[in-house]
Amino acid sequence: MTTPNRPGEFALIERFFKPLSRTTPFVRHGIGDDCAVLSPAADDELVLSVDTLVEGVHFPRHYAPAKLAVRSLAVCVSDLAAAGAHPEAFTLALTAPELNESWLQEFSRVLAAEAERYGVSLVGGDTTRGPLCLSLQVMGSVPRGQALLRNGARPGDLVYVSGELGGARAALDYLESLSPTEAQQSYLQRYHSPLPRLALGQALRGVANAAVDISDGLVADLGHILRSSGVGATIYTDRLPVAMGLRDVAQGVDYALSGGDDYELCFTVPGEYQAHLRALEKTLALPLHCIGEVIDGAGLKCLDAEGVVYETAAGYQHF
């Protein structure tokens, strides 16, 4: 019995992924050797982040390759936004049950479009056999000493979030819906096509004391800032920008606090920057909401409109 003549791993990489590797001032040499050669500007610092997306955990089983391409790169680029960085390059390690050519063609086509959208070049990676899983490392640049980190929040800072929250979590309730309503379609759009807040992150350099992107839920991710900074915070549920249609839903506030997958930015700023942020809202056409303040102490307290403590889940955790 003969084995069908199928293109090998390296031929498929050459066909589907090498075209995503381009030379830029940052990328001196990409795919084709054991290592990529990168050349950050002399007055920049290199920032790195890696994310792993597992089928059945981070995206549904049998997820369309086009949707996976959009989502996988966006959630990683969001980390660069949280650092105030400019995207430069990425690597991709793809584990799949088989190297299906039609799947790869659609995935790589959309991934190329998304890479061009963010201005990043694919500079390396790996392919292996196994359950569907993607690991992407993104690289960016930021002016020396200006990266936004989690450890700079100070008592008296105001806590802000961008956009709206809870919609991506609500989408999980409708992933299998054959006829979603208009509101449900907006939730699904937030889940399938996250919008990294790159322009906002870059505009917050020198303004925000700390920042994080909201991937595991506001409570969990703001908690990272508080622990890293050695401070506490109080936020108010009536100030939360709950996604359209969710404010009057019983679990709407919980989705906004703990749902995750929103990929908005949460950041802390000194109070004197409020006027600056109102101007920035208009420039970016992106709502920025003050939801609370940083305080001395430790931990996060959520209060409702009557000042009563609002109990909510801590957000998503893998273990």
Percentage above 70 pLDDT, the chain: 95
pLDDT in tens, 178-226: 889 988 999 999 999 999 999 999 999 999 999 999 999 999 999 999 9
| pLDDT, mean of residues 74-83 | 98
Residue 251, both tokens: 């679990």
Who contacts 180 (Cβ-Cβ below 8 Å, separation ≥6)?
174, 188
List strand residue ranges (DSSP E) for 56-164, in order: 86-96, 121-129, 133-143, 158-162
- Across-strand partners of 53? 134
CA–centroid distance for 272 within its chain: 28
| pLDDT, mean of residues 69-75 | 97
Residue type, 95: T
Residues 124, 65 contacting (CB under 8 angstroms): no
Angle between helices 182-192 and 65-82 (to 10 degrees): 70
pLDDT at position 64 over 60:
yes
pLDDT at position 317 over 70:
no
Residues 239, 166 contacting (CB under 8 angstroms): no
Which string of DSSP letters, residue by residue, matches 189-237? HHHHS----HHHHHHTTTT-SEEEE-SS-HHHHHHHHHHHHT-EEEEEG
> Can you tell me the distance from the alpha carbon of 118 to that of 37, in angstroms, rounded to the nearest whole number?
20
Cβ count near 29 (within 10 Å): 14
Who contacts 65 (Cβ-Cβ below 8 Å, separation ≥6)?
103, 104, 106, 107, 110
pLDDT in tens, 255-301: 999 999 999 999 999 999 999 999 999 999 999 999 999 999 999 99
pTM above the 0.85 mark? Answer: yes
pLDDT in tens, 239-253: 999 998 898 888 999
Residues 151, 210 contacting (CB under 8 angstroms): yes
> Can you tell me the distance from the alpha carbon of 69 to that of 193, in angstroms, rounded to the nearest whole number?
10
Residues 233, 301 contacting (CB under 8 angstroms): yes
List the Cα angle 301/305/309 in 5-degree steps.
30
**Structural domains in the chain?**
9-143 (3.30.1330.10), 158-303 (3.90.650.10)
